[in-house]
Amino acid sequence: MELLRAALLLCMADVLHSFAIEKEDIFKRMVCPAFLMFDNAAYLADMTFELPCNCKPEEVSNVIWYFQKNMGGQETTILTDFSGNMVVDSGHIHVGSDVLKRFTIRMFSLIVFRAQVSDSGHYLCGTKKGDFFYGYDVDVQPSKGIKVAFLDIGQHVRDDYTGKAFSLFTTFWDWTKCDRCGVRGEQRRIGLCYVQSTRLHPRYRTVLHNVTSCGSKAVPPGLQRSIRHRKPEVAIRSCMATCPQEDNPQEGVKAIYNVIHKLGRKPWLPQVPTQFYKHPVGEDLVIACPGARPEHAVAWDKGSVRLYRSRYLVGVSKTMRIFIDHGNHLHIRRVDFDDKGTYYCWREGKLVAGLQLRVIYVAKRRRSLSDPETIYIIKAIGVSYVFIVAIFIGIHVCRCCWRVVRCPVRI
């Protein structure tokens, strides 16, 4: 037994040593380019992505990441892990800003959490002295106004567009897993906008020749204005997936549950962690699925009611009060008492969590003249009144001037 333990320890030591050598050899065999290039990378808003520092000198033990919105701009954000992975801005940044919570550095790689469109730009890996080793051209495409195609009802994704100086097309990722098991589910496929042109800036490196994402800085300003109308796309279709054997209750237990349900008693509830939450009536509510990211397959149920995206995806109807956004969050606008119940969340085809919502009435305090909302309303009414009076006086002055011109005074 002791010999077996010793052998296992030696094997683990060899694995760790080989991993360390491999990690070290990556930087030894990958020479940094003499002329800094930028690798293109495109993501959808609210996604989390990682940018590895693919090359650096062997003697450099710490790296700093620099962010510039436009190459050669005056504003540069310095991302460093020297002070507990805090973000330091070269200009001025307020304490508690969101940017301080969304960036971190792990093993020389920069991780950006829930990226926003404003995070698009140039990311450079370098040192405190200003030596740059590797660069990225990041394009975070917006999820607002995204084009949705429900394939089950005959809708299609957009066709490619070919112009004189460029071509536009959508590059789709792989289909996600079926978001439910044992019942009808849905699959989603995210597509990002790409452009092909011979006018791309040569300093930007792409996987395919003369092809880059639509928001890349490699696209000349003239072409950017022409391709601005092209948005990312999402394709959705139905699917069926079987649940793993351990997730299904035994047949005898199923029969007992069915009998209880027919007798009018409490039906079988999923055995998942459930959180109890109270929410005031009339207020908006946003529910997130634990551990889910925008690229995951996520589904929502209210009790036994399936909230399919074909009916509840944002943008399907302009009057929707309950909807699912493209980041997989469930929104309930102006919560009323009928919204109480248990909401279940599926992640990657498995039921993972529940939220039992209780709606309560909270008496609202009477507003005073010193409230910011009251002051804003009074100012808005005053400005509107002055604007209407000015229009009224202007119309009458114009009418008087017109009469004087047409009917001059005779002496």
Q: Mind giving me the DSSP string for 44-79?
A: ETT--EEE------TT----EEEEESSTT-S--EEE
105-114, 125-134, 251-260: the lowest-pLDDT one? 251-260
- Note the residue count of the chain: 411
Q: How many structural domains is the chain composed of? A: 4
pTM over the 0.75 mark: no
Residue 78 and residue 182 share a domain: no
Residue 137 and residue 26 share a domain: yes
Which amino acid makes up residue 44?
L
pLDDT at residue 244, rounded to an integer: 83
Is 259 contained in some domain? no
Residue 127 and residue 29 share a domain: yes
The overall average pLDDT reported for the chain is: 80
Residue 143 pLDDT level (bands cut at 50, 70, 90): confident
Tell me the sheet residues that pair with 185. 239
The count of other CB atoms within 10 Å of the CB of residue 31 is 9
The count of other CB atoms within 10 Å of the CB of residue 400 is 10
Is 46 contained in some domain? yes
71-80, 93-102, 186-195, 284-293: the lowest-pLDDT one? 93-102
Is 266 contained in some domain? no
Residue 366 pLDDT level (bands cut at 50, 70, 90): low
Is 260 contained in some domain? no
Residue 101 pLDDT level (bands cut at 50, 70, 90): low
Residue 133 and residue 74 share a domain: yes
The segment with the largest mean pLDDT, out of 8-22, 69-83, 118-132, 359-373, is 118-132
Residue 191 and residue 118 share a domain: no
Is 222 contained in some domain? yes
**Is 344:351 a contact under the CB 8 Å cutoff?**
yes
Is 74 contained in some domain? yes
What is the tens place of the pLDDT at every residue in 304-317?
899 999 999 988 88
Residue 235 and residue 317 share a domain: no
Residue 367 pLDDT level (bands cut at 50, 70, 90): low
Residue 182 and residue 167 share a domain: yes
The yes-or-no verdict on residue 152 having pLDDT over 50 is yes
pLDDT at residue 113, rounded to an integer: 84
Residue 107 and residue 39 share a domain: yes
The yes-or-no verdict on residue 247 having pLDDT over 60 is no
| Parallel, antiparallel or unpaired: strands 109-112 and 49-51 | antiparallel
The yes-or-no verdict on residue 262 having pLDDT over 70 is no
Residue 203 and residue 167 share a domain: yes
**Residue scoring higher pLDDT (33 or 181):** 181
Residue 409 pLDDT level (bands cut at 50, 70, 90): low
pLDDT at residue 31, rounded to an integer: 64
d(CA 408, CA 24): 95
Residue 304 and residue 229 share a domain: no
pLDDT at residue 258, rounded to an integer: 53
What is the tens place of the pLDDT at every residue in 49-73?
899 988 888 888 888 888 988 876 6
Q: Which domain holds residue 377?
A: 370-395
Is 183 contained in some domain? yes
d(CA 176, CA 327): 14
Residue 377 and residue 344 share a domain: no
Is 3 contained in some domain? no
Q: Which helix (H) or strand (E) holds 190?
A: strand 184-196
What is the tens place of the pLDDT at every residue in 304-360?
899 999 999 988 888 899 999 988 999 999 999 999 999 999 999 999 999 999 999
What is the tens place of the pLDDT at every residue in 206-225?
888 899 999 999 999 888 88
CATH code of the domain in which 114 resides? 2.60.40.10
Mean of the pLDDT values across residues 11-17?
43
pLDDT at residue 223, rounded to an integer: 87
**Residue scoring higher pLDDT (24 or 165):** 165
**Of 141, 175, 206, which residue sits at a domain end?**
141
Residue 163 and residue 116 share a domain: no
